[in-house]
Structure 1
Amino acid sequence: MKTIKLGTSSLEVPVVAVGCMRINSLDKNGAERFVQSALDLGANFFDHADIYGAGECEEIFADAIHMSPSVRENIILQSKCGIRPGISFDFSKEHILNSVDGILKRLKTDYLDVLLLHRPDALVEPEEVAEAFEQLEKAGKVRHFGVSNQKPMQIELLKKFVKQPIVANQLQLSITNANMISNGVNVNMEVDSSIDRDGSILDYCRLHDITIQPWSPFQYGFFEGVFLGSDKFPELNKKIDEIAAKYSVSNTTIAIAWLLRHPAQMQPIIGTMNIDRLDDCVKAADVVLTREEWYEIYTAAGNILP
């Protein structure tokens, strides 16, 4: 599979990442087949979070891949921390350090390639984050650091104290959830899509070489459903199917190819546990949409042009 550099790091990563949030929906044999299939497809970047299945997903993954030193050196592991379910968000030094220790134990590894702070903590003390990152890096427990769902000034606040580069920002983005693109297209227009809801995070990440990792690349709204095949988006599905037929691929492939066509060099997080669907997503790495096709899909989703 095609690869990109993750942020400003030297870490080469596949352009499609495997999200493991739903791996606990598979039985033991199913999880083993899925993980092995991902590796066979060249999708060796696995995204986790300590809250997925209350930690169970990391344990299931480690068992499914039969974690060992030889296995570990051929995969890239990313996990996230900072959410305390039912309580709060927590970027305190103590919580970050404890979370990483738990993640490493469940994944049966000595280190993470990437650690992301999951959702913004209103009570963040960036000095504590910096101390945690420094301690984790020196101990060899985390090699690269990033964030998730953060806007530019939140990242700038962290960067005032954190010396490690922020290499990734995981953000909600799909054809139908594309405000970070739309507000840059409809500049100075009196339309809803011109509203900048994220501080121009797309341009910020491009300016600072931070890799955007789109999550929920098939969803519309906030987990309202999948737009592919939905009767809510007839024009979009007609256009995607038309372009899919041209390239002899599935509609799933085109939906991911639309994200990969953007010059920001994004790395979509694929959450499916269906092997065939994952295969379709991986095929997107070899499909380069034309500028016309990209805009046709964009407008078919109801996104307007000035």
Structure 2
Amino acid sequence: MFSLPLNAHFTDVGPLVYGCMALGGDWGGGPVSEADVAHAHAAVEAALDIGIKLFDHADIYRRGKAEAVFGELIRRDAGLRGRIRLQSKCGIRFADDAAPGRYDLSAEHIEKSVDGTLQRLGVDRIDILLLHRPDPLMQPAEVARAFGRLKATGKVAHLGVSNMHAGQMAWLQSTLAEPLVANQLEISLAKLDALDAGTTFNDPQAAARPGAMAWAGTLEYAQRHGVQLQAWGSLAQGRFNDPAASAAARAVHEVAEAHRTTPNAVLLAWLLRHPAGIQPVIGSGNPERIHACADATRIALSREEWYRLYVAARGQSLP
């Protein structure tokens, strides 16, 4: 098994995270149904079966229903809360009568969002709060004060971010008394920007990959400062399920066959092989697909296999 250099705050939860966005039924709001509870229970049990202990939420998932249905699972199983850690995100607001869809990292919104999350989950504390998206109007000192109050009242143990690059993390960290513990980015064989930011730097390929350059230094900043990287979208929305779909999908399946495992496990193992110890976030609500990820921590891709998948997914030779 490959050795995973997890951040000290994450060594007790293991290398995989379960993302709860698929739980809670539709996005229409309203109460959760018994069918929603049954679906969530099956997915969570599958995640627990493969050793997952960290469950990732956001206040907006299913307009609060993802947290609400998970809270119902906690209510029905008194021992569940003690076996897991809870992470949630805030900062995205849906369009309403006041304004269009927007980001809001004001102290008022952060604290109100946390109170809503705690109520829906039926708990008195979340272990990690992530700021969901960068807010152009964010004032780091205001965020620091909000987190200070949440920490002092025991509502939040640790603070992290999501979808922030190195400069944004450094700017926010400059006002915080405690270190940011996590950054959740979209990283997968279908989303290579964070890696390409390094490999195409100072090469003409960079001009063809402008989205990648925004992430320059982000992986390195996280490793230097002990920020745990988490990868949402880690299964690439099923893009590699069909080996006939592309050369990259064929490579994934061939590597899976060589290791006698599933393509899903290979997609996650590819992320785990990175020296940052990236934690893949599994977002499927399908128990079968969750179970298909079980081997991810038990197989070790060689350097050659890792690059084979990377280059195949890029669709272009490295510079």
Question: TM-score w.r.t. structure 2 length?
Answer: 0.88
Q: Given the superposition, is the C-alpha separation of residues 10 and 300 from structure 1 closer, same or farther in structure 2, using an over 3 Å criterion?
A: closer
2:22·2:285 contact (CA, 8 Å) conserved in 1? yes
Q: CA offsets, 1:76-120, max 9 Å, x none?
A: 100000111124211111111111010001001010010000000
The alpha-carbon deviation at position 157 of structure 1 amounts to 1.4
The alpha-carbon deviation at position 232 of structure 1 amounts to 8.5
Q: CA offsets, 1:32-89, max 9 Å, x none?
A: 2222232232212100000001111100111124366632121110000011112421
**Alignment RMSD, CA only?**
2.2
In structure 2, stretches of 5+ residues that fail to align are 26-34, 96-100
1:193-212 equivalences under 5 Å are 193=209, 196-212=213-229
- 1:14 aligned partner, one-letter code: G
The separation in 1 between residues aligned to 2:308 and 2:175, in whole angstroms, is 43
Q: Does 1:119 align with 2:136?
A: no
2:89·2:130 contact (CA, 8 Å) conserved in 1? yes
Determine the structure 1 residue equivalent to 2:28: none
2:13·2:54 contact (CA, 8 Å) conserved in 1? yes
3-state DSSP of counterpart to 1:14: coil
Determine the structure 2 residue equivalent to 1:15: 15
- Paired residue for 1:266, among 244, 267, 278? 278
Determine the structure 1 residue equivalent to 2:266: 254
Q: CA offsets, 1:238-294, max 9 Å, x none?
A: 111111111111111111111111111011111001112111223201111000000
Determine the structure 1 residue equivalent to 2:250: 238
3-state DSSP of counterpart to 2:265: helix
Q: Does 1:73 align with 2:98?
A: no
1:34-183 equivalences under 5 Å are 34-66=43-75, 70-86=79-95, 87-183=101-197
The separation in 1 between residues aligned to 2:193 and 2:115, in whole angstroms, is 36
What is the identity percentage for the equivalent residue pairs of Structure 1 and Structure 2? Answer: 39
Determine the structure 2 residue equivalent to 1:277: 289
The alpha-carbon deviation at position 193 of structure 1 amounts to 4.0
The separation in 1 between residues aligned to 2:170 and 2:195, in whole angstroms, is 21
The separation in 1 between residues aligned to 2:244 and 2:160, in whole angstroms, is 35
3-state DSSP of counterpart to 1:146: strand
In structure 1, stretches of 5+ residues that fail to align are 220-224
The separation in 1 between residues aligned to 2:271 and 2:303, in whole angstroms, is 12
1:3·1:14 contact (CA, 8 Å) conserved in 2? no
3-state DSSP of counterpart to 2:183: strand
2:94·2:102 contact (CA, 8 Å) conserved in 1? yes
3-state DSSP of counterpart to 1:187: coil
Q: Does 1:217 align with 2:230?
A: no
- 2:233 aligned partner, one-letter code: S
Determine the structure 2 residue equivalent to 1:222: none
Deviates more, 1:3-12 or 1:201-210: 3-12
3-state DSSP of counterpart to 1:144: strand
The alpha-carbon deviation at position 236 of structure 1 amounts to 0.8
2:107·2:146 contact (CA, 8 Å) conserved in 1? yes
1:5·1:12 contact (CA, 8 Å) conserved in 2? no
3-state DSSP of counterpart to 2:310: helix
Question: TM-score w.r.t. structure 1 length?
Answer: 0.92
3-state DSSP of counterpart to 2:24: helix
The separation in 1 between residues aligned to 2:167 and 2:201, in whole angstroms, is 20
Q: Given the superposition, is the C-alpha separation of residues 103 and 32 from structure 1 closer, same or farther in structure 2, using an over 3 Å criterion?
A: same
Q: CA offsets, 1:197-238, max 9 Å, x none?
A: 22321111111111111111133xxxxx53213589521111
2:265·2:294 contact (CA, 8 Å) conserved in 1? yes
The separation in 1 between residues aligned to 2:81 and 2:139, in whole angstroms, is 33
Aligned length: 301
The separation in 2 between residues aligned to 1:154 and 1:6, in whole angstroms, is 22
The separation in 2 between residues aligned to 1:9 and 1:92, in whole angstroms, is 26
Deviates more, 1:197-206 or 1:261-270: 197-206
- 1:206 aligned partner, one-letter code: Q
The alpha-carbon deviation at position 196 of structure 1 amounts to 1.5
The separation in 2 between residues aligned to 1:166 and 1:293, in whole angstroms, is 32
The separation in 2 between residues aligned to 1:71 and 1:294, in whole angstroms, is 36
